Structure 1
């Protein structure tokens, strides 16, 4: 594995025998190394394929500002997240998370706290990521001595959730979260109920809503118009139909998105399920 660019003493861009470019990280692995030198692979702590020249340039820029210790900390948090969530996360998280943690620590040291307006929504809708992010805050305190506020749990959870999607941007993730929040409130106030957030039906509803919002923002909504299913569900769940129309009106007004009959039918089913149990409990 030969070096084709040295970013700093701890990070380099390399090329393997198959001419695949990879970014490698490790304490001192590029110290006093130059282009063409071989990397001591025993020192490599993390390696990932460089997806583009843009990525390498962005990494180079960040490494001029972010200490290697923060990059290493991010690596450990990501490995913890992958273990807890039993999934692989997008390599771009190494950049975004390192940048975020470094900036958050700097703000706290300068007494400039920043509130996360979506903290309660993230806590409710992305529970698994939120729990991992809470562990991350403990690791950050242990390694840096800096105790970040709880708002940062939500921020880190959003970064983790974002990395679980297929190249979703953070702006898109925030928009998805707002859609989930707004639609949930429409259902809540239409029926005059409070949700049992531990129930299976609530979990199914939120999962459907999250992935609907994800597909909607990417223009991947199913174009099928299943009149038979739509008419049957509309007749059977009249109140859920009225609520679903409110949701459809909101989405069309705010996002210029017109729901298909298939989507309307599935929304009616999920809204009926999540509301009927709460009404019975009430």
Structure 2
């Protein structure tokens, strides 16, 4: 059994568990008509979250005083949905970061300030599961609060969710997304054309670029027995791949192996005219 501390919305409550430890409960209808001190049965609860880190506890407590409870409640439902869909546990800091972001986004929209997301296409392609959750989050905000957040915000929410799953931190996720966007621009400049953001070619390219950046950052090497053939047959594509690799090296401070350049060249070759 859990004892209610505070109802955030019909589906989310702050509560104490049987040991008196504060937790966040998520479950359909568990907060309906509940008051402080009421009991909630364990079988009614779909998800239980604990904020254990001392610093995060302080930040979450401060957040609860500054942010509307219904916004925090929606944020917790989004986190529960993300964990269920992705099958992975999110870093507990997301309970603070996501609610804070949502509250600020809603405040900005109320003031008529609409911030554009320059990496929306890359985010859609790279983090599809996170973006799908983020789109549902916008629906929840619209239906529950009557606030229409633009698609750009789904991109920002997706970044928060992805960073929490990867435990890399939002700054690293954003840096890598920005780098992929820059690499696409370099390729487009060499192709003298824009790549259709809705095409399968684009999806394949950014996905490969993301994993290439990740491998280089972690110092992982890949075998490429086709490298001599790639260099000989795909000369232009390999030259572009070298330019892309130079940018990765400049950003990460790590050398890109020739084998990695070869795989980049294969993907670039598919974009060149026959």
Give CA-to-partner distance per residue, 1:234-270, whole Å, 9 cap, x none.
1232111100111122222333221012212221222
1:199-218 equivalences under 5 Å are: 199-216=199-216
CA distance in 2, matches of 1:185, 1:264: 17
CA contact (8 A) 2:2 2:41 kept: no
Segments of structure 2 that go 5 or more residues without pairing to the other structure are 8-12
> 1:139 corresponds to which residue?
140
Q: Which residue of 2 aligns with 1:31?
A: 36
Q: Deviations over 1:20-71 (max 9, x none)?
A: x7733363978249xxxx9753664631244533333332222222233222
> What CA RMSD, in Å, does the superposition of the two structures yield over aligned residues?
3.4
| Aligned counterparts of 2:119 and 2:225: Cα–Cα separation in 1 | 39
TM-superposed CA distance for 1:148, in Å, is 2.1
Distance (Å, rounded) in 2 between the aligned partners of 1:211 and 1:240: 19
Q: CA deviation at 1:171?
A: 0.9
Matches within 5 A, 1:109-120: 109-120=110-121
CA contact 2:23–2:48 (8 Å) conserved in 1: yes
The alpha-carbon deviation at position 181 of structure 1 amounts to 0.8
Q: How does 1:248-267 map to 2 (within 5 A)?
A: 248-267=245-264
State the Cα deviation string for residues 121-158 of structure 1 (Å, max 9, x = none): 43455455444423322220110122223332222222
- Local SS of the residue matching 1:163: helix
Partner of 1:173: 173
Alignment-derived partner of residue 163 in structure 1:
164
**Residues matched between the structures, number:** 263
Equivalent residue number for residue 239 of structure 1: 236
User: What is the TM-score of this pair, normalised by structure 1?
Assistant: 0.75
Q: Distance in 1 between matches of 2:238 and 2:195?
A: 19
Task: Return the TM-score normalized by structure 2.
Answer: 0.77
- SS at 1:64 equivalent: helix
- Is contact 1:78-1:89 (8 Å) kept? no
Among candidates 1, 11, 14, match of residue 11 of structure 1: 14
